[in-house]
Amino acid sequence: MSMTDPIADFLTRIRNAIHASHEIVVMPGSRQKAELARILAEQGYIDAFTVAPAADGPGDTLEIRLKYDEARRSAISGLRRISRPGRRSYVDAKHIPRVNGGTGTAIVSTSRGVMTGHEARAAGVGGELVAEVW
């Protein structure tokens, strides 16, 4: 099975796990997915993530521990892929969107690495608008 958009797969696996109230999501890992997970963890959307060598072959396995409140509501209420392989979306620092009126997070892949929209704005760098989380 070839994957055309691993980032969309990453977001969909998290979305599905939340709908099923899973604690942990396991998926094939990559450097970019690990960076996305790092941002989700820093922003408080997930509890933790680990990258481990895959037991059954090449590559890494990314394991994400989801975060819920006492009422079993996920810290993530929505995930949206913005820039897709068929339609890339690039923004400069001035045009990074505010997600959900500033309560959400835009994830931007810049020349200085993957960062939140807030960090990219502060650093004055634009890049590819990968996804939005809220």
Give DSSP secondary structure letters for 68-101: B-TT--BS---EEE-SBTTB--EE-GGGPPPGGG
- The pTM is what? 0.92
Residues pairing with 115 in the sheet:
108
User: Does residue 48 lie within any of the structural domains?
Assistant: yes
- Number of separate domains in the chain: 2
10 in the same domain as 56: yes
62 in the same domain as 10: yes
The Cα–Cα gap between 71 and 53 comes to 34
* Domain range enclosing 93: 79-133
The Cα–Cα gap between 66 and 113 comes to 24
49 in the same domain as 93: no
pLDDT digits (tens, 9 = 90+) for 29-79: 999 999 999 999 999 999 999 999 988 888 899 999 999 999 999 999 999
